[in-house]
Amino acid sequence: MHLEQLKYIVEVAKTRSISNAAQNLHVSQSTISKAITHLERELSINLFTRSRLGALPTAEGKNIIKKAYEIVIKLEEIQEEAQTQTSLINGEFNLSASPSLFMPILLKTLAIFKKDYPNFKVIMTEKISPNIMEDLIQGKIDIGLAMIDEVDWNAHEELVYETLLEGRVMVCVSQHSPFAFSDHITPEELIDETIVMYDEGIWKDSISAYMNRYGPMNILFASNNTEVIKKAVSEGLAISFLMDIALKDDHYVKSGEIIPIPLINIEPSRRSFGWVRSKNKHFSLAAREFLKYLKLHISKLE
């Protein structure tokens, strides 16, 4: 029995796929398949049931895989302890963030973290919240930063999360809009307005469902590229709904090209955002350290 075999069966159990496990571990499918076969022969039990649907742990295999996971975690903790003793954090971790939610805060946090830990590599992607959850479940990323409202956490017991901050729904209008000098806006006032929507599943659906109570919305387009959305608003092509936290230090707002105005008489008017991780993936020292930096930066904004 070798440590590589234990790592392989843990990764296959996470992804339920030999091909995905091979991709994540940067080895060939045949390497993993042979390693599992040899381990099964050594233990005289079948660890997985292979089919067109993937590789699923057998009843006998589940306990073995659980113990293998514990061993892999301990090994990673030993490696991290060695790094801690030399006061260095090396390596990399994968992070996904919802683009309109955390970018202004996240980019500054990354800059500070990178300055203190220049040898560490953070691989960051932008995805909508449902895709972030799926990547966490499949073990593709270490941390997700996303909207956590309306997620059925009972259906995702393998995930844990923490709320970091709340955001308020704002109506973004051009400086030349008749609304530009309003203290607030109600849904009824927006019935005839042309709208560009942020294309986040939960966000878009909840806003659309609420606004449609007052009449069909005139949606020009939907996008998860907030720069495109803000450009359309600044040029007076449409209005949009964004969170106040997505507009902190925004250059369109600072220049006065976009005016954010609170949207009232809408429930819920505030949304919760936070970090999410999988219980089945090792919570690395670097990931924990990065979250400390993120929380510290958020505390300075409050």
Name the band, by pLDDT with cuts 50, 70 and 90, for residue 201: low
| Owning domain of residue 24 | 3-85
Whether residues 140 and 184 share a domain: the answer is no
Whether residues 7 and 134 share a domain: the answer is no
Residue-wise pLDDT tens digits, 249-291: 788 999 999 999 998 887 766 778 899 999 888 888 788 888 9
Whether residues 79 and 43 share a domain: the answer is yes
- The span from the CA of 167 to the CA of 254, in Å, is 19
Highest mean pLDDT among 118-132, 143-157, 177-191, 201-215: 177-191
How many domains in the chain? 3
Hey, what amino acid is at 19? S
Whether residues 171 and 266 share a domain: the answer is yes
Whether residues 54 and 112 share a domain: the answer is no
- The span from the CA of 181 to the CA of 67, in Å, is 63
Whether residues 135 and 174 share a domain: the answer is no
Q: Which two tokens stand for residue 275?
A: 């970090």
Give the pLDDT confidence score for residue 99 in this predicted structure.
67
Q: Which two tokens stand for residue 70?
A: 């514990």
Picking from 69, 85, 101, the residue at the C-terminal end of a domain is 85
Which of 168, 176, 190, 178 has its CA nearest to residue 240? Answer: 190
Highest mean pLDDT among 116-120, 157-161, 202-206, 207-211: 157-161
Whether residues 142 and 279 share a domain: the answer is yes
Residue-wise pLDDT tens digits, 138-150: 888 999 998 887 6
Whether residues 14 and 143 share a domain: the answer is no
Picking from 37, 66, 85, the residue at the C-terminal end of a domain is 85
Whether residues 43 and 99 share a domain: the answer is no
Residue-wise pLDDT tens digits, 235-257: 999 999 888 877 877 889 999 99
- The span from the CA of 103 to the CA of 248, in Å, is 10
Q: Residue 36: which CATH number?
A: 1.10.10.10
Residue-wise pLDDT tens digits, 27-76: 999 999 999 999 999 999 899 988 887 889 998 889 899 999 888 888 88
Provide the whole-model pTM: 0.62
Q: Residue 150: which CATH number?
A: 3.40.190.10
Report the chain's mean pLDDT, rounded to a whole number.
84
Picking from 36, 62, 85, the residue at the C-terminal end of a domain is 85
Whether residues 178 and 265 share a domain: the answer is yes
Hey, what amino acid is at 295? K
Select the more confidently predicted residue: 215 or 187.
187
Whether residues 74 and 126 share a domain: the answer is no
Give the pLDDT confidence score for residue 204 in this predicted structure.
65
Rounded to 5°, the CA angle 299-156-55 comes to 130
For residue 88, report the phi and psi dihedrals to the nearest 5 degrees.
Answer: -125, 145
Whether residues 198 and 71 share a domain: the answer is no
- The span from the CA of 176 to the CA of 239, in Å, is 11
For residue 94, report the phi and psi dihedrals to the nearest 5 degrees.
Answer: -105, 135
